[in-house]
């Protein structure tokens, strides 16, 4: 149909082509394009390239059209009436300015459509609420706390000497060993992987998404919200694949600083939020080091 439109314009007398200013809208957002054609005029709206039809969803009504961004990308929207053709370049981007649930402006790093998990390797102190992870240089400590804040267990690793110390609250004894022969390099490397902070680790949502080529993570990006001082990407599965989860993600490394799952009735079923997130940790604090090593 578009080819016929352009042909008709080409042969019409006094042909006019008018370029409108470029437009950028967020994924899932809408923009009402009101043309300068008189009210009641017969106006036909379309996109310039059939291959880009999936970028925008068009809802025509007289001399106006609601343009809705349905996929990331760029296309040209056109409007034709008589011998006049209006056109404008439209780019659909991931939303980056709306704070979920409040409508307040909160500028952050826009989601680019790509997720990578690159957890911090050194100088971090991360308290997830039940576990404290801390590392300075070759020394790494992991402490698990009960609901009262008391220690359930702690583990100390020296990645240079391969020294390993463990304390289990259940028996009240330290378990210490130097085991150069049995502990493989891969086991030590695993100490650097903060698996619990991987946003989509063992996630049913992530697995479902990868098996559906029609969907992309960008479709579930809903904006930015601050957690632990970080303006996070927020993803809302919105019931996709029967899963209702929200994830708050550090754009710099893919770490999950908060997640929330809800049941069919909307009640929260599972939740986690990092309490302390320090990626510039260079001096051991007493709650981590002295209370463990000098126990």
CA distance 35 to 88: 11
Q: Taking all residues of the chain, what is their mean pLDDT, rounded to a whole number?
A: 78
Weakest-pLDDT range from 8-12, 132-136, 210-214, 242-246:
8-12
Q: Which one has a higher pLDDT value, 175 or 38?
A: 38
State residue 132 phi and psi, 5-degree precision: -110, 125
For the stretch 242-278, pLDDT in tens is 888 999 999 999 999 999 887 666 666 678 889 999 9
Segment 111-131 mean pLDDT? 88
* Residue 241 DSSP SS3: helix
Q: Would the pTM count as exceeding 0.85? A: no
Helix spans in the chain (H): 2-11, 185-190, 204-210, 290-293
Give the rounded percent of residues in the chain with a pLDDT score beyond 90: 14
* Residue 147 DSSP SS3: coil
Query: Which residue, among 150, 32, 141, 25, has the nearest Cα to 90 in the 3D structure?
Result: 25
pLDDT at residue 7 greater than cutoff 50 = no
| Cβ neighbours of 164 (radius 10 Å) | 19
pLDDT at residue 182 greater than cutoff 50 = no
Where do the domains of the chain lie, and which CATH numbers do they carry?
2-93 (2.60.40.1080), 94-120+194-262 (no CATH), 121-193+276-295 (no CATH)
Structure tokens at 158: 């020296």
- Distances in Å between the alpha carbon of 201 and those of 152, 255, 256? 25, 10, 10
Report yes or no: 96 and 223 within 8 Å, Cβ to Cβ: yes
Residues 260, 263, 269, 270, Cα dihedral to 10°: -30
For the stretch 192-227, pLDDT in tens is 668 889 988 878 898 888 888 778 888 888 888 989
């Amino acid at each position: 149909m578009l080819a016929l439109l352009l042909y008709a314009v080409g042969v019409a007398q006094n042909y006019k082509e008018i370029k409108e200013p470029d437009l950028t809208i967020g994924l899932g957002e809408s923009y009402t394009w009101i043309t300068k054609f008189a009210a009641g005029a017969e106006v036909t709206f379309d996109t310039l390239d059939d291959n880009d039809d999936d970028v925008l969803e068009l809802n025509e009504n007289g001399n106006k059209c609601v343009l809705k961004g349905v996929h990331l990308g760029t296309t040209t929207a056109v409007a034709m009436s008589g011998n006049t053709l209006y056109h404008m370049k439209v780019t659909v981007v991931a939303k980056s300015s709306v704070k979920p649930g409040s409508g307040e402006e909160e500028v952050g790093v826009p989601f680019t459509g790509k997720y990578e998990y690159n957890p911090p390797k050194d100088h971090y102190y991360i308290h997830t609420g039940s576990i404290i992870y801390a590392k300075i240089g070759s020394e790494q400590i992991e402490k698990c706390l009960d609901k009262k804040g008391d220690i359930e267990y702690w583990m100390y690793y020296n990645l240079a000497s391969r020294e390993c110390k463990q304390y289990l609250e259940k028996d009240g004894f330290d378990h210490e060993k130097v085991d150069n022969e049995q502990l493989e390099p891969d086991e030590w490397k695993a100490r650097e992987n903060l698996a619990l902070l991987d946003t989509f680790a063992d996630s049913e949502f992530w697995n479902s998404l990868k098996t559906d080529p029609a969907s992309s993570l960008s479709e579930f990006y809903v904006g930015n919200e601050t957690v632990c001082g970080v303006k996070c990407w927020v993803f809302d599965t919105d019931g996709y694949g029967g899963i209702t989860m929200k994830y708050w993600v550090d754009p710099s490394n893919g770490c999950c600083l908060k997640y929330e799952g809800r049941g069919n009735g909307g009640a929260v079923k599972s939740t986690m939020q990092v309490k302390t997130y320090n990626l510039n940790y260079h001096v051991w604090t007493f709650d981590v080091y002295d209370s463990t090593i000098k126990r």
